């Protein structure tokens, strides 16, 4: 069996965002947006078959199963993300409305997108394939608000504790297992704010809602991460591809890692397994959404409906080693992607992880810290 990921140099370095309230401002991100809107001539009518996509590289390859775009008179004009959701936000806010069609927001960001009017409420009658979704992905509260849906699930996954089962005899049960003396210098963290802050806030604050923590709990989380970085970890890897290489080279035996890490950097030749520690972990669902005033609304709906077809979901999961969201796709999955995700109990998996991860408040909300405060804490950790 061939183990592959599409364009892993892009996909492997994905993060779940590093935003501040300044980047949420309506004028923010002009430089990023300029790249995102390149090739959209101002004031000119777009070709009827052109459809403008801003999202993760590799997702579009899954959408194009069987040359679907050409067969449906669509020429996809793709702008790929290199960091995270902040690029989508900046692009829409800096001229994307009326020019962009399809975007790929993570579910935890969708409430914010909706709050500031960055996503089109979907007409679900135009998406009959929505009924193909596993029940766990239907009517998600981070996607449906005020009686409208603002995205449809496309892929899913988590950042669990990954470990070399040949060198770690028992599956880790806590994130604190990274601090055991026998693993000193053999563990790593990764430069991914949300994927790291979520589980270690769960530990430090003893909570299953780490997006609702106070300043003292945030400080405790940062101190814990600094302790691990300085006294236990080999490194903070810049991305998941590099983390895969560290596992493959035998330099580390344990780390928080996105599931596809296990097939990057030669890591498929290592006996890597993963588990969700007792405290929980980051879980995510990436979606397809339509930008308000999309110039090709009808074609955008065709793409979204197609994205929930069995053929598209099978192709996407096999190419990218991501989780399929429709039940009919599982039978056609290759052995590797089929084995990576718990299709027999998705709801139980969500419960074990702590539910779909949410975002910290972007504005003051009682005693809870904002995303701005979390970002400042993360920067303190990185500088330590």
Q: Which pLDDT tens digit goes with each residue over 42-76?
A: 444 444 479 999 999 999 999 999 999 999 999 99
Read off the pTM: 0.85
H-helix segments, 149-281: 193-205, 215-231, 240-248
**pLDDT tens-place string over residues 170-193:** 999 999 999 999 999 999 999 999
* Per-domain residue ranges of the chain: 8-131+288-323, 161-280+360-383
Q: Does domain 161-280+360-383 have CATH number 3.90.1150.10?
A: no
User: Does 25 score more than 60 pLDDT?
Assistant: no
Average pLDDT over residues 164-171: 96
Tell me which fold the domain 8-131+288-323 belongs to.
D-Maltodextrin-Binding Protein; domain 2 (3.40.190)
Q: Do domains 8-131+288-323 and 161-280+360-383 have the same CATH topology?
A: yes
Phi, psi of 242 (to 5 degrees): -65, -35
pLDDT for the residue numbered 16 = 60
pLDDT tens by residue, 222-238: 999 999 999 999 999 99
Q: What one-character-per-residue DSSP string does 15-46 give? A: -S----HHHHSTT--HHHHHHHTTT--TTPPP
DSSP state of 268: G
Q: What is the Cα–Cα distance from 203 to 162, expressed in whole angstroms? A: 17
């Amino acid at each position: 069996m061939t183990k592959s990921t599409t364009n892993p140099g892009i996909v492997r370095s994905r993060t779940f965002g590093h935003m501040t309230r300044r980047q949420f401002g309506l004028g923010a991100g002009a430089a990023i947006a300029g790249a995102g809107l390149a090739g959209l001539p101002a004031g000119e009518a777009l070709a009827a078959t052109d459809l403008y996509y801003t999202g993760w590289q590799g997702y579009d390859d899954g959408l194009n199963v069987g040359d679907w775009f050409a067969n449906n008179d669509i020429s996809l004009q793709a702008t790929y993300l290199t960091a995270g959701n902040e690029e989508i936000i900046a692009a829409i806010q800096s001229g994307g409305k009326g020019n962009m069609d399809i975007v790929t927001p993570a579910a935890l960001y969708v409430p914010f997108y909706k709050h500031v009017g960055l996503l089109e409420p979907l007409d679900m009658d135009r998406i009959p394939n929505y009924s193909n979704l596993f029940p766990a992905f239907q009517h998600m509260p981070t996607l449906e608000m005020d009686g409208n849906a603002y995205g449809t699930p496309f892929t899913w996954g988590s950042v669990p504790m990954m470990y070399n089962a040949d060198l770690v005899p028992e599956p880790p049960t806590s994130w604190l297992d990274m601090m055991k003396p026998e693993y000193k210098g053999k563990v790593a963290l990764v430069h991914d704010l949300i994927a790291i802050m979520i589980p270690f806030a769960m530990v430090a604050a003893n909570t299953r809602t780490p997006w609702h923590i106070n300043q003292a709990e945030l400080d405790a989380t940062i101190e814990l991460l600094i302790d691990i970085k300085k006294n236990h970890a080999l490194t903070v890897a810049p991305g998941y591809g590099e983390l895969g290489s560290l596992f493959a080279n035998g330099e580390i035996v344990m780390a928080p890692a996105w599931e596809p890490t296990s097939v990057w950097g030669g890591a498929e030749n290592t006996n890597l397994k993963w588990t969700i520690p007792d405290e929980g972990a980051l879980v995510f669902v990436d979606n397809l959404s339509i930008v308000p005033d999309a110039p090709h609304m009808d074609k955008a709906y065709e793409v979204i409906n197609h994205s929930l077809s069995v053929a598209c979901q099978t192709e996407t999961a096999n190419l990218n080693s991501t989780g399929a969201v429709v039940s009919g796709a599982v039978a056609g999955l290759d052995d590797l992607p089929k084995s990576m995700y718990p299709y027999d109990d998705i709801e139980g998996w969500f419960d074990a992880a702590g539910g779909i991860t949410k975002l910290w408040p972007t504005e003051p909300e009682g005693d809870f810290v904002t995303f701005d405060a979390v970002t400042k804490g993360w920067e303190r950790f990185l500088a330590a």
